[in-house]
Amino acid sequence: MVNAVKFAIEKMPYKYSSLLTLKYVMGYSGKEIAEITGLSETNVRQQLFKGRSFFLNIPPLTWLYIAASVAVNAVRTPSNVTYAIGSNNNL
């Protein structure tokens, strides 16, 4: 589910996803985010509220689609494949 949340954040408008990432992934406070972005603390709070609202209003069927997309991409990712080439196993 964590990957689905990250995927959903990536699909949000950048002005929301960047602030949500700074706040909830990187752990910055509202004041620190204001200093980093050059926005006022009030604006940061407003944008975080809108971003959370955007995130929480994703319909349940969309969450299923997001989770399925993440699962399919995980299966297709080459980093998940173990190769026997160059190993000492006699295949």
- pLDDT > 90 fraction of the chain, expressed in percent and rounded: 31
pLDDT of residue 1: 55
9 within 8 A of 55, measured Cβ to Cβ = yes
Distance CA 63, CA 6 (A): 12
Distance CA 51, CA 89 (A): 51
With a CB cutoff of 8 Å and minimum separation 6, the contacts of 34 are 40, 41, 43, 44
What's the Cα-to-Cα distance from 70 to each of 13, 15, 22, 42, 56, rounded to whole Å? Answer: 19, 23, 22, 34, 19
pLDDT of residue 80: 47
pLDDT in tens, 12-52: 888 888 998 899 888 999 999 999 999 999 999 999 999 88
Q: Rounded to an integer, what is the distance from CA 45 to the centroid of its chain?
A: 19
Asked whether the CA dihedral 23, 26, 27, 28 is positive or negative, the reply is negative
Residue 84 has pLDDT above 50, yes or no: no
What is the average per-residue pLDDT within 49-77? Answer: 71
